[in-house]
Structure 1
Amino acid sequence: MIIAIVNQHDNPDRTVIARNLAVLRARSGRRVCLMSTARDGDWATERADAAVRPWIDTRQVGSRAVKTRLAALRPLFNDILVDAGARDTEQCCCVLASARLVVVPVRGSEIDLDRQYRLLARLNAARAFNPGMRVLFVAVCGADGPCEEERAAVLAHVARVQDASLANVVLHRPAGHDYGPGRCVCDAETCDPEAAGEMHALYDEVYATLPKLALPPAAQLGAAHALWG
């Protein structure tokens, strides 16, 4: 299964979520590949050098033949997670056209109309080629959030995207700490249990409850409205 993680800002939330989902999925015994459409630094190398387990197979999405490369990797892995970036690139469009689920972290305090509509257009264009694609937004906020304005902004944002759902979990500053070379939130469960718990809850919504995404989007959004109240 291919899952893409995209957002509308070049903040680290997208990459943090992709890495943690990959780590948690690999812990379950699945063969996982983490791909990126941008230079992802030396995170995987640092992780291997620090002997942090599980080891994560990482790949770079090149500027050409993305669809062909994904097709070649599918038989080798149970799950492929792709950090597909924040920009409307050819690589991102190809990934979205192949993804079963698209995860979109969004900060209510950073939504702006120009980027919002560009993201909307990107997702809707992908659905024309990939009608079964699901979109799951994840609210991200500061340690004390979300405030009422952030709640309203996130709910309005999700409502403007066709067939989108909002995750029940809220992530509080997922990129707020450095857990050491090659480590992520889910490698620091004893020293930061609350943040790790939020990532586990997101993992459950993405994977363990994935079939529920087949419910009518209105029902999914209605549940989110009830939770965010």
Structure 2
Amino acid sequence: MIILIGGEKGGTGKTTLATNLAAMRALAGRDVLLIDTDPQGSSNYWVQSRDEERITPRVACVQKFGKGLPAEVKDLANRYQDIIIDAGGRDSVELRSALVVTEKAYIPIQPSQFDIWTLNQMDELVEAAKGFNPELRAKVIISRSSTNPSVHESDETGKLLADFLNLELANVTIRDRIAYRKAAKDGLAVTELKPKDPKASEEMEILYNEVFGNE
């Protein structure tokens, strides 16, 4: 399966989602490849940290850029069971190219009006990509949401998604938890942290099940 974690807005936790899903998929016994298309290389650095700490199972990672991305992804899909693409937070050649070959795209946004405005362009990009990739499904993940139960920004953001024809709302909200930052620093998935943060682990397991189901 080819999965894209991408969007036009930076700072929404794309790399956090991509690296956690990659590690959890590897822990499930799958041969997974993480493709980092962001010049900042955050996913690649995460893998390097994981390798330096000799954490198993190992997660393979490559950096790929440019218009040739679709052909390269298709070739790599013959060698790996799953590919997870981490696309940077902007309208890039890599983001547009990845939408043409991915099966499922997940677009994390923070629950703010600034992030919601970027969804107009993403809705158009997904519609254009469906001309080449009609099976593409795109879902929005509300990410880095407040852990304060009295803050209802996530609910309000979710209601606004009804205005977009090509975007659905994922069934999980990812909260802004320290556990995600701790895990990233050591090249871990949040489910690998000891002691475990049960709430963060539950969020990521819900996302994992939505993305991969019983596969």
Scaled to the shorter chain, the TM-score interval is 0.7 to 0.9
SS in structure 2 at match of 1:178: helix
Residue 174 of structure 1 deviates from its aligned partner by 5.0
Q: Which runs of 5+ in 1 are unaligned?
A: 211-229
- Of 116, 123, 148, the residue aligned with 2:152 is 148
Q: Using the alignment, how far apart are the partners of 1:199 and 1:189 within structure 2?
A: 16
Residue in 1 aligned with 2:75? 72
Could you list the structure 1 runs, at least 4 aligned residues long, displaced by more than 6 angstroms after superposition: none
How has the CA–CA distance of structure 1 residues 185 and 173 changed in structure 2, closer, same or farther, with 3 Å as cutoff? Answer: same
Considering only aligned residues, what root-mean-square deviation do their CA atoms show, in Å? 2.1
Residue 145 of structure 1 deviates from its aligned partner by 4.7
How has the CA–CA distance of structure 1 residues 187 and 113 changed in structure 2, closer, same or farther, with 3 Å as cutoff? Answer: closer
- Of 195, 199, 206, the residue aligned with 2:200 is 195
Task: Output one character per residue of 1:176-229: Cα deviation in whole Å (capped at 9) or x when no partner.
Answer: 53233322312216331210111011101111168xxxxxxxxxxxxxxxxxxx
Q: Is the 8 A contact 2:141 2:172 kept in 1?
A: yes
Task: Output one character per residue of 1:154-181: Cα deviation in whole Å (capped at 9) or x when no partner.
Answer: 321x223324322222211157532333
How has the CA–CA distance of structure 1 residues 177 and 83 changed in structure 2, closer, same or farther, with 3 Å as cutoff? Answer: same
Q: Is the 8 A contact 2:34 2:62 kept in 1?
A: yes
- Mapping 1:1-229, distance limit 5 Å: 1-39=1-39, 40-41=41-42, 42-112=45-115, 114-140=117-143, 141-145=145-149, 147-156=151-160, 158-173=161-176, 177-179=181-183, 180-188=185-193, 190-208=195-213
TM-score, with structure 2 as normaliser: 0.87
Residue 134 of structure 1 deviates from its aligned partner by 0.6
What's the % identity of the aligned pairs?
26
Amino acid in structure 1 at the alignment position of 2:211: V
- Aligned pair count reads 209
Q: Using the alignment, how far apart are the partners of 2:128 and 2:75 within structure 1?
A: 24
Residue 6 of structure 1 deviates from its aligned partner by 1.2
Q: Using the alignment, how far apart are the partners of 1:123 and 1:136 within structure 2?
A: 10
Q: Is the 8 A contact 2:126 2:166 kept in 1?
A: no
Residue 113 of structure 1 deviates from its aligned partner by 5.6
How has the CA–CA distance of structure 1 residues 28 and 147 changed in structure 2, closer, same or farther, with 3 Å as cutoff? Answer: same
Q: Using the alignment, how far apart are the partners of 1:115 and 1:167 within structure 2?
A: 17
Q: Is the 8 A contact 1:138 1:170 kept in 2?
A: yes
Q: Is the 8 A contact 1:97 1:126 kept in 2?
A: yes
Residue in 2 aligned with 1:221? none
Residue 99 of structure 1 deviates from its aligned partner by 0.7
Q: Using the alignment, how far apart are the partners of 2:170 and 2:9 within structure 1?
A: 19
Task: Output one character per residue of 1:50-77: Cα deviation in whole Å (capped at 9) or x when no partner.
Answer: 0112210001112241112112101110
Q: Which runs of 5+ in 2 are unaligned?
A: none
TM-score, with structure 1 as normaliser: 0.82
